[in-house]
Structure 1
Amino acid sequence: MSTLDPSFSQHLQEDELTPDQYGDFISSLPTTGFLSQYRGFWFPTKFMQGVLSLRKHFQAHDTDILMMTPPKVGTTWLKAILFAILNRKHHLDLQKHPLLTNNPHILVPYLDLHLYNKKEVPDLTTYPSPRLFSAHLPYTLLPTSVKNSKCKIVYLYRNPKDTFVSLWHFLEKIGMTTDSFEETFDKFCQGVSNFGPYWDHVLSYWNESLEKSQRILCLRYEELKEQPTTHLKRIAEFLGCPFSSEEETKGMINDISRLCSFDYLSKLEVNKSGTTHNMKNESLFRRGEVGDWVNYLTPQMSEKLDNIFKEKFHGTGLKF
Structure 2
Amino acid sequence: MAFEYIEIVDPIYKATHQEREEQDYVLVRPTETSMIPITLPDWQPEPCCLNKKFEALAQRIKDMDVQLCDVWMVSYPKSGTTWCQEMIWLICNDLNYEKAAGSKLRERFPFLELGGLRELPKNVDCFQDVLSMQSPRFIKTHLPVAFLPDQIWTVKPRIIYVRRNPKAIAVSYYHHSVSLHGYKGTMEQFVHSFINELQYYSPYHRHVVEYHSLEYEDDILYLCYEEMKKDLKDTMKRVCKFFNKCYSEEQLDTLAQHLSFESMKDNKSVNSQEWVEYCLRKTNREDKIKDVNSQFIRRGEPDGWKQELSPELSLEIDGWTEKKVTDPDQIALFQYD
Query: Aligning the two structures, in what range does the TM-score lie when normalised by the shorter sequence?
Result: 0.7 to 0.9
Give the aligned length.
Answer: 285
Query: Are the aligned partners of 2:273 and 2:295 in contact in 1 as well (CA < 8 Å)?
Result: no
Q: Which runs of 5+ in 2 are unaligned?
A: 14-21, 30-46, 119-123, 281-288
Please list the CA deviations of residues 11-48 of structure 1 after superposition, one character each: whole Å capped at 9, or x if unmatched.
x445xxxxxxxxxx97x744853122111110134445
1:57-82 deviations in whole A, cap 9, x for unaligned?
Answer: 31111221100111111111111111
Alignment of 1:139-288 (within 5 A): 139-208=145-214, 211-239=215-243, 241-243=244-246, 247-249=247-249, 251-270=250-269, 271=271, 274-275=274-275, 283-288=295-300
Contact persistence 1:236–1:242 (CA under 8 A): yes
TM-score (norm 2): 0.75
CA 1:291/1:51 → structure 2, altered by over 3 Å: closer, same or farther? farther
Helix, strand or coil at the partner of 1:144: coil
What percent of counterpart residues are identical? 24
In structure 2, distance between residues paired with 1:258 and 1:177: 34
Output the CA distance in 1 between the equivalents of 2:256 and 2:53: 34
Once the two structures are superposed, the pairs formed by residues 94-109 of structure 1 within 5 Å of their partners are 94=97, 96-98=98-100, 100-109=101-110
In structure 2, the CA distance between the partners of 1:248 and 1:260, relative to structure 1 (3 Å rule), is: same
1:143 Cα deviation from its structure 2 partner:
1.5
Change (3 A) 1:64 1:269: closer
Contact 1:187 1:193 in 2 (8 A): yes
- TM-fit CA distance, 1:101: 4.2
Q: CA RMSD in A?
A: 2.9
Q: Report the TM-score, using the length of structure 1 for normalisation.
A: 0.79
- Structure 2 counterpart of 1:314: 326
How do 1:66-105 residues align onto structure 2 when only pairs under 5 Å count? 66-88=72-94, 91=96, 94=97, 96-98=98-100, 100-105=101-106
Change (3 A) 1:204 1:54: same
State the Cα distance separating 1:291 from its structure 2 match: 1.0
Q: Residues 272 and 122 from structure 1, CA distance in 2 versus in 1: closer, same or farther, beyond 3 angstroms?
A: closer
Q: Residues 235 and 149 of structure 1: is their aligned pair in 2 closer, same or farther, counting only changes over 3 Å?
A: same
> What secondary structure, in the 3-state scheme, does the structure 2 residue paired with 1:308 have?
helix
CA–CA distance in structure 1, aligned partners of residues 322 and 224 of structure 2: 17
